[in-house]
A and B are shown apart, each in its own frame.
Chain A
């Protein structure tokens, strides 16, 4: 359930995982957040391994922000949206950069959501918001547990709304999820978070 208590100025990044059925909610989120939403957003979405082009463009069309596939060791910029490239795992490094890797598949996936979530949880600790959307396998469940264990906020798309609910359901089984929300509520959460972060920014 949506709770205003989870809106907190401490958050420094948002990470979103999804697979089958997540394109629509992701697009909805990206088209609804304010253009100047201040936190970096990391997207790890399952995708075809050999199709390098087209996905980032498809996501960018409706997005208020440009979506980019980062290069290895690229510095993380405030308010940027990063998509894990095809056939690479995407990790967040300490020291504010992104690294890519071609390690073996995890949960039959490269990029693997667990890898992105786990590394982000390590880098951002309790200052991370993790969101897991519709999907047909359990990738991301362990990563959500890592986020929870390190004090971050965990949100899953409600299984009722999810086109395929294996992914959110697996996360709900793996760890305590702070909020189970519809796409619309996820958007509302991010907009409220944006407002609070901007108030904080103005007061400094």
Chain B
């Protein structure tokens, strides 16, 4: 069986940085290695060197590479209790201070969390007060998110999460059935814009009341997590909220003390210092 060594990955990372200006050097090594192994197997390369060779001579392959290297596993209403707290505590808190709500889904993947949020806002009757930006590094996955479809095999999991979240209806209210998939009601995306953005490059493009970046930074090492937290901090209004995955932590980041913990179980933080 083919085993990938760190030296192989270094060569690949260097080429991608030099030729395409994407920097994977601070990605978490174990998952990055698995992604590369997957690409090598999927495209039947003999080795990582062969992959490097393809990327050197075939720039059109790069977009596919990015799609495969990033992890696009997501579900609607993952951790239902998180969404309940968002609905019952966090969003009312924001709206009690001002009449508008700006949201950033950083690393939105195929859009399941965006759809969940729009359903939540619709059911609260405050969707018209919100503006949402959803970003990802992978253009192909953004296009899929825009198409707003959910594959049939995931619908059961999504529905049971929605039930646990105790939504007002049943999830199928928001979908129409197609052959292989379910189509999400796109009218609910009228206040959402999708765009490409690389967290690693660290560009601030707007300010938000609420940022969701759940299970995205787990693919980064601590150095990069630390850098990205600066970006997220700068992109939040003072007293804005940051949500990360339930098993992620900020405590070792330089600017952790600029946040307070609002909910430790669901990892919801509030920015309290500029």
| Nearest chain A residue, comparing its CB with the CB of B215 | A102
Pick from A52, A71, A87, A91: contact of B31, CB under 8 Å: A91
Check A99/B218 contact, CB under 8 A, given A72-B249, A73-B225, A88-B247: yes
* A98-147 at interface with B (beta carbon < 8 Å): 99-104, 115, 119, 122, 145
CB of A81 closer than 8 Å to a CB of B: no
Assess whether B181 is interfacial by the CB under 8 Å rule.
Answer: no
Cβ contact within 8 Å between B160 and A93: no
Is the CB of B16 closer than 8 A to any CB of chain A?
Answer: no
- With a CB–CB cut-off of 8 A, which chain B residues contact A103? 31, 34-35, 71, 73
Interface size class of A (residues with CB under 8 A): 20 to 34
Is the Cβ of A69 less than 8 Å from the Cβ of B247? yes
Q: How far is the CA of A69 from the CA of B247 in the complex (A)?
A: 8
Contacts of A50 in B (CB 8 A): 80, 160-161, 164
Chain B residues 199-230 with CB under 8 Å of chain A are: 215, 217-219, 221-222, 225
Residues of A within 8 A of B245 (CB): 72, 100, 102
Contact between chains at B247 and A93 (CB < 8 Å) = no
Residues of A within 8 A of B133 (CB): none
Q: A52-B246, A73-B225 are in contact. Are A93 and B28 (CB under 8 A)?
A: yes
Are B247's CB and A85's CB within 8 A?
yes
The answer, yes or no, to whether B172 is at the interface (CB within 8 Å) is no
Q: Please indicate which of the listed interface residues B71, B74, B78, B245 has the most CB atoms of chain A within 10 Å of its own CB.
A: B245
Q: Does B43 contact A (CB under 8 A)?
A: no
In the assembled complex, B252 has its CB within 8 A of some CB on chain A: yes
Asked if A58 is at the interface of the complex by the 8 Å CB criterion, the answer is no
Residue with the greatest number of chain B CB neighbours at <10 A, chosen from A70, A92, A103, A145:
A103
Rounded to whole angstroms, the CA-CA distance of A119 and B28 in the bound complex is 12
User: B64 within 8 Å of A by Cβ?
Assistant: no
Interface residues of A in 24-76 (CB under 8 A from B): 50, 52, 69-74
Q: Quick one: which of A71, A91, A122 contacts B249, CB cutoff 8 A? A: A71
- Asked whether any CB of chain B lies closer than 8 Å to the CB of A196, the reply is no
Measured in the bound complex, the distance between the Cα atoms of B214 and A100 in whole Å is 12
Roughly how many angstroms separate A87 CA and B1 CA in the complex, as a whole number? 27
Contact between chains at A101 and B246 (CB < 8 Å): no
Contact of B248 among A52, A71, A92, A119 (CB under 8 A): A71
Taking a contact as CB atoms under 8 Å apart, the answer to whether A93 and B30 are in contact is yes
Specify which of A87, A100, A104 is in contact with B218 (CB 8 Å cutoff). Answer: A100
- Chain B 231-267 near chain A by CB (<8 Å), digits 1 or 0: 0000000000000011111001000000000000000
Chain B contacts for A99, CB-based, 8 A: 28, 30-31, 218
In the assembled complex, the Cα of A85 lies from the Cα of B219 at a distance in Å of 16
Q: Is A94 an interface residue (CB 8 A)?
A: yes
On chain A, the residues within 8 Å of B164 by CB distance are 50
Residues of B within 8 Å of A94, CB to CB, are 6, 29
State A104–B153 Cα separation when bound (angstroms). 13
Instruction: Contact check, B247 vs A72: say whether CB atoms are below 8 A apart.
Output: yes
User: What chain A residues lie within 8 Å of B30 (beta carbons)?
Assistant: 91-93, 99, 101, 119, 122
A103-B31, A115-B34 known; A72+B161 contact, CB < 8 A: no
Nearest chain B CB to A142's CB is how many angstroms away?
A: 8
- Chain B residues lying within 8 Å of A52, measured Cβ to Cβ, are 79, 246
Known pairs A85-B247, A100-B245, A119-B30; list 12 more (Cβ under 8 Å): A50-B80, A70-B247, A72-B247, A72-B249, A73-B221, A73-B222, A93-B29, A99-B30, A101-B31, A102-B71, A104-B73, A145-B1
Binding site for B on A (CB under 8 A): 50, 52, 69-74, 85, 87-88, 91-94, 97, 99-104, 115, 119, 122, 145
**Which residues does B use to contact A, with CB under 8 Å?**
1, 6, 28-31, 34-35, 71, 73-74, 78-80, 160-161, 164, 215, 217-219, 221-222, 225, 245-249, 252
Instruction: Please provide the 8 A-B residue pairs with the shortest distance between their CB atoms, ordered closest to farther.
Output: A91-B30, A71-B249, A72-B218, A101-B31, A119-B30, A99-B28, A102-B215, A104-B73
24 A–B contacts, CB within 8 A, in A order: A50-B161, A52-B79, A72-B218, A72-B245, A72-B247, A73-B222, A73-B225, A73-B249, A91-B31, A94-B6, A99-B28, A99-B31, A101-B28, A101-B31, A101-B218, A102-B71, A102-B73, A102-B218, A103-B31, A103-B34, A103-B73, A115-B34, A122-B30, A145-B1
